[in-house]
Structure 1
Amino acid sequence: MKLADLLQPQAVPAGKETLEITGLTLDSRKVEPGFVFAALAGVAVHGRRFIAQAVEAGAAAILTDAPVPDCPVPVLVAEDAPAELARLAANFYPKQPGHVVAITGTNGKSSTVEFLRQIWHAAGFDAASLGTLGVARGQSVETTGYTTPDSVALHKALDRLAREGVTHLAMEASSHGLKQRRMESVTLSLAAFTNLTQDHLDYHPDFDDYFNAKARLFTERLPKGCPSVINIDSPWGERMAELSRETGHIVFTLGWRGQDLQIHEITPRPASQDVAFSWRGQDFRIDIPLVGEFQVLNALCAAAMAWASGISQDVILDSLPRLTGVAGRLEKVGETADRAPVLVDYAHTPDGLDKLLRAARPHTQGRVIVVFGCGGDRDASKRRLMGEIAAREADITIVTDDNPRSENPALIRQAVLEGCPGAEEIADRTTAIARGVDLLRAGDCLLIAGKGHETGQTVAGVVHPFDDREEGRKALHLREGSHVL
């Protein structure tokens, strides 16, 4: 593709209109001959430090936010370089599914986009979901490693999915991705908001910045006149709904206080929940095969999004009792001979852990046992809070290592234990999980929280193979009569 095909006419350097561009990247290590290297500001360093390396690797042009003296290749200077990169990526990878919807919020995004994909599939559409778990389509999942991929990877994925026949795509929109303009030039037809609780305050300077980053999905990315689906069970949801209305969207609200879809009652069953709700004046009662109030909210948010995207109410209501859970989200990996279950969940925030533990309680006749830790190089203020929640909501707490990353894991555990001084401390996560399984008695439940679907543990900058689900299964195998999934 020619450089002139990627840029606005006035932005093309004189005499470089026919310069052949073979690819785009933000990573200087991935530059190939003919690539545009985007030298953007990062969390720790600016990409300008790697321009010489990119040029040596064959970069045909550099995109950045300030002039680069004596650069031997054309320099494309943009005031908002991240947004410009997204526009270049959209031109380089021009196709997108006809219906792309995005959902933001602290918790629930992964489950909601997957439930929406399942409803679309039941309606007969070739649908996919994109987010923390990767790209899911049919029975396959392709891991990406990011909630919202960088703009180049995102547009490349959109183009490929569209060419493969996907017509409906549900994607997660992280606060990082929105603030860093990764979703620029994505054509959205619908957006949704789940909730806002403490997370990512290592990246955002304060909670207002965190909210404002999420709000960009509605104030900047979703076109006027499009529908938005908002859970209004919190002041943040009310505020987001008002912003969406002011922007000119058709707002659909849900939740216990929802005006369009309102939950009235949730009755826990052994492996499901009986949910009574009203939907635009009609009352319904459906058994949804998911555990935890928050999963009901995710499922109904997906239902509202499906309706707003044009799916009939009958198809949606028929799909809800057939939904299947998401990997690493209250995922059952087995049970003891006494039928005490072992569940793995991604809960890694105070709100997430609180909801997880409270979700398990109605389904548990005996003790709720939890194994969890906190990640390093992330918001340290949530560690004690999560300890306090575990001490309050669980009967037995085992504090272990999560992903220490570059931090001293003992200090992370110490901070968590300040909130739950009566907990057991077992540094090795495999040993901690085995201990939790060993403690199980009839009527108990074991929750392994924090890593969910992840298949690695990052210690001192090195990723070691580790899967909570497999460790739970291994521990169950050692107990006679256990049933492993």
Structure 2
Amino acid sequence: MSRRLADILGPELAVPPGAGELVVSGLALDSRKVKPGDLFAALPGVRTDGRQFIAMAVDNGAACVLAPPGTDAPVPVVEAREPAAALAAIAARFYPRQPAHIAAVTGTNGKSSTVEFLRQIWAGAGLEAAALGTLGVTRSSGRTEVGYTTPDAIALHQALDALAGEGVTHLAMEASSHGLKQHRMDGARISVSAFTNLTQDHLDYHPDFEDYFASKMRLFTALAPSGTSAVVNMDSDWSARVEQTARAAGLEVISIGWRGRDLAVREITPKPASQIIRFAWRGAEQLIELPLIGEFQTANALGAAAMAIASGLEAQSVFAALERLTGVAGRMQPAGMTKDGAPVLLDYAHTPDGLDKLLRAARPHTRGRIILVFGAGGDRDPTKRPAMGAVAARLADVCIVTDDNPRSEDPASIRAAILAACPGATEIGDRESAIRAGIEMLAPGDALLIAGKGHETGQIVGGRVIAFDEPAIVARLLKEREGRS
């Protein structure tokens, strides 16, 4: 695939002198992956500046460079004051095909489940649908890992082009604060957008909460076209501001939740493996049985339903589809149970709010004790650690503090920050040993929740990723326990 440089720059960028007929064969952000004829995007970053690697990119065959004004290079330089936004626009022209309907979901928690539920609803209606986000690219035929909630602009537009080429007409995708602030999603043609909730996260990257909020809101203010629908869950402290922002951007707001006006939750009745939900859709009472546990899954499922209706599906068929939903990997995922019926559940909860929602979701379905195994990630917002410890101390019956992904930090110091706010917790640094201890404690009526890693299959310690398949580990440890009984 090759494109004339002049064709992919568009009207907002000037073609470098003498490069009017230059042909670009590819796009690259990593100088090590540059191939002959590529455009190399030398973007200023948080930790490194891409301009440091221009020489390497040229040595590898870069035909031109995208960079801030004033950058010198031995090949033509496309100058852009906002090079990240310019790269997204270039990528959208280089990879021009996109699914006809793209739904984007932002918020702190619930994005992965919401986009996957929307994909399932669309697929159940006979549409060629896919979901893109933390779990990778998911289709009815299976899942492909991508490694990021929101891929970089080049990878994203390459994926959109490929999915459209494979016949996908409906795509549900996550919109992370990093991806939105860094313009990775710019150029994606959004037809419906949504907000789940907003709580503390990523303050290691964002200078303050207002910046985090503003980054999320770019979905509504910069990406979603005026006149399209925005589904807003009204049960977050920030929901009123989100609704105001969306309306000011010319979007048609569909409000949902306990405080929703368009889709209002009336009552939730928990059952052992499901929940009965009574709600009103624009005044008409509805009653469904959702085959998932946890009130937060109700919010995710109803958010997906509202987006599906906004995309053109008939409301009653959408609500019927909710009764056939299947859960997402690593989100309240059943990993096994003891012979006495005590379940072990895995969840990706890694923020104070996520942990709060997980524990509150499990309580109505648990007759005995909730035993919680959890930790916190290294090289991330340290203020989350005592907050998570306080949530665990308040809502779990037994707490075991262990390692999550310590990355470059000292694991013991991370655990100490959690334990300071979680008196009475047991400290077991080795994650498998902590899980074993939790399983050994299980009595009839209890539930073991293992939080933090969810769908992840590795543990990041220092600079290494150590294989850590939690479902397989749980299955083996349960088998060992049953073998001794």
TM-score, normalised relative to structure 1: 0.98
> Matches of residues 296-307 of structure 1 in structure 2 within 5 Å?
296-307=298-309
Q: Distance in 1 between matches of 2:30 and 2:423?
A: 44
- Residue 13 (structure 1) aligns with: 16
Counterpart of 1:478 in 2: which secondary structure? helix
- Residue 445 (structure 1) aligns with: 447
> Matches of residues 181-330 of structure 1 in structure 2 within 5 Å?
181-330=183-332
Are 2:344 and 2:450, in contact at CA under 8 Å, matched by a contact in 1? yes
Are 2:288 and 2:320, in contact at CA under 8 Å, matched by a contact in 1? no
- Residue 113 (structure 1) aligns with: 115
Are 1:122 and 1:315, in contact at CA under 8 Å, matched by a contact in 2? no
Matched AA of 2:446: D
Q: Distance in 1 between matches of 2:403 and 2:175?
A: 28
Counterpart of 1:278 in 2: which secondary structure? strand
Q: Distance in 2 between matches of 1:88 and 1:220?
A: 17
Counterpart of 2:23 in 1: which secondary structure? coil
Residue deviations 1:171-212, cap 9 Å, x none? 000000000000111111110000000000000111111000
**1:133 equivalent in alignment to 2:135:** yes
**1:422 equivalent in alignment to 2:447:** no
> Matches of residues 396-475 of structure 1 in structure 2 within 5 Å?
396-475=398-477
1:42 to partner: Cα distance: 1.3
Match of 2:179 among 177, 180, 185: 177
Q: Distance in 2 between matches of 1:476 and 1:128?
A: 34
Q: Distance in 2 between matches of 1:453 and 1:104?
A: 19
Residue deviations 1:143-188, cap 9 Å, x none? 0000000000000000000000000000000000000000111111
Residue deviations 1:240-269, cap 9 Å, x none? 111111111111000000000000111100
Counterpart of 1:371 in 2: which secondary structure? strand
Counterpart of 2:385 in 1: which secondary structure? helix
Are 1:448 and 1:468, in contact at CA under 8 Å, matched by a contact in 2? no
Counterpart of 2:122 in 1: which secondary structure? helix
Q: Distance in 2 between matches of 1:11 and 1:113?
A: 38
- Residue 33 (structure 1) aligns with: 36
Name which of structure 1's ranges 228-237 and 78-87 shifts more when overlaid on structure 2: 228-237
Are 1:232 and 1:257, in contact at CA under 8 Å, matched by a contact in 2? yes
Are 1:67 and 1:75, in contact at CA under 8 Å, matched by a contact in 2? no
Residue deviations 1:44-100, cap 9 Å, x none? 11111111111111111110113223x210111101100110111111101000001
Q: Distance in 2 between matches of 1:182 and 1:149?
A: 7
Q: Distance in 2 between matches of 1:8 and 1:400?
A: 52
- Residue 68 (structure 1) aligns with: 71
- Residue 339 (structure 2) aligns with: 337
- Residue 374 (structure 1) aligns with: 376
Counterpart of 2:268 in 1: which secondary structure? strand
Matched AA of 1:15: G
Matched AA of 1:137: R
- Residue 49 (structure 1) aligns with: 52
Residue deviations 1:282-306, cap 9 Å, x none? 0011110011000000000000000
Q: Distance in 1 between matches of 2:278 and 2:410?
A: 47
* Ranges of 4+ aligned residues in structure 1 off by more than 4 Å: none
Matched AA of 2:390: E
Are 1:336 and 1:481, in contact at CA under 8 Å, matched by a contact in 2? no
1:225 to partner: Cα distance: 0.6
Q: Distance in 2 between matches of 1:135 and 1:263?
A: 31
Residue deviations 1:106-159, cap 9 Å, x none? 000000000000000111100000000000011310000000000000000000
Are 1:372 and 1:399, in contact at CA under 8 Å, matched by a contact in 2? yes
Residue deviations 1:229-250, cap 9 Å, x none? 0001123111111111111111
Are 2:31 and 2:56, in contact at CA under 8 Å, matched by a contact in 1? yes
Name which of structure 1's ranges 311-320 and 296-305 shifts more when overlaid on structure 2: 311-320
Q: Distance in 1 between matches of 2:17 and 2:351?
A: 51
Q: Distance in 2 between matches of 1:44 and 1:13?
A: 28
Counterpart of 2:130 in 1: which secondary structure? strand
Residue deviations 1:435-454, cap 9 Å, x none? 11111110000000000000
Matched AA of 1:41: P
Are 1:406 and 1:461, in contact at CA under 8 Å, matched by a contact in 2? yes
Q: Distance in 2 between matches of 1:355 and 1:463?
A: 28
Counterpart of 2:312 in 1: which secondary structure? coil
Q: Distance in 2 between matches of 1:52 and 1:428?
A: 44
TM-score, normalised relative to structure 2: 0.98
1:421 to partner: Cα distance: 2.3
- Residue 62 (structure 2) aligns with: 59
Q: Distance in 2 between matches of 1:424 and 1:139?
A: 42
Q: Distance in 2 between matches of 1:347 and 1:121?
A: 27
Q: Distance in 2 between matches of 1:20 and 1:424?
A: 62
1:5 to partner: Cα distance: 1.9
Residue deviations 1:296-348, cap 9 Å, x none? 00000000000011010121011011000000000001100000000000000
Matched AA of 2:379: D
Matched AA of 1:315: S
Matched AA of 2:51: R
> Matches of residues 80-159 of structure 1 in structure 2 within 5 Å?
80-159=82-161
Are 2:192 and 2:228, in contact at CA under 8 Å, matched by a contact in 1? yes
Counterpart of 2:105 in 1: which secondary structure? strand
Counterpart of 1:322 in 2: which secondary structure? coil
Are 1:175 and 1:213, in contact at CA under 8 Å, matched by a contact in 2? yes
Matched AA of 2:41: A
Residue deviations 1:355-407, cap 9 Å, x none? 10111111000100010000000000010010111111011100000000000
Are 1:383 and 1:416, in contact at CA under 8 Å, matched by a contact in 2? yes
1:15 to partner: Cα distance: 2.2
Matched AA of 2:398: I
1:16 to partner: Cα distance: 1.2
Matched residues, number: 481
1:481 to partner: Cα distance: 7.0
Counterpart of 1:149 in 2: which secondary structure? coil
